[in-house]
Amino acid sequence: MYQSFVAEIKKKVYKARHEALRQANKHMIKLYWEIGKGILERQEKYGWGKSIAEQLSKDLQVEFPGIEGFSSRNLWRMRMFYREFGNLPPAVAEIGRSHNIVIMEKCKNLKEKEFYIGMTRKYGWTKSVLIHHIEGRSYEQYLLG
């Protein structure tokens, strides 16, 4: 009797932790999308060059010491993320940041990206499974099937 109670509580804790991580991921993806949007829009409006990412990185690291993720390379990824997925923010927020980066860097067109985002959401693919499917050309097989 007690063991089933403990098992039930453990299950609830795992479920709550998983949901909390999913919600945090959604918020972080939204933040990255907004940062990328801001960088791209200001580059277009004011003609800012590549130095924006380096300066912004320095300023954010001063303001938020110890928080990783604001390197100039990551800020460029955020810009690329917005440029690539500007019309898919709800969908991309459903999968992990590393999944989005893989899709962004390995997929050629929007339809292919949408396919892999959808499949990752539907089947809960890990990053390595996603890479396996991209390298195995699952999208092309799907189109042929």
Question: Residue 79 in contact with residue 39, Cβ under 8 Å?
Answer: yes
pLDDT, tens digit (0-9, with 9 covering 90-100), for 78-92: 998 898 877 766 777
Domain boundaries, the chain: 1-88, 95-145
What's the confidence (pLDDT) of residue 41?
95
Sign of CA dihedral 67, 73, 74, 75: positive
pTM: predicted TM-score of the whole model, two decimal places: 0.72
Residue 8's contacts (CB-CB under 8 Å, 6 or more residues apart) are none
Confidence of residue 72 (pLDDT cuts 50, 70, 90): very high
pLDDT, tens digit (0-9, with 9 covering 90-100), for 16-39: 998 898 888 888 888 988 999 999
Sign of CA dihedral 98, 104, 110, 115: negative
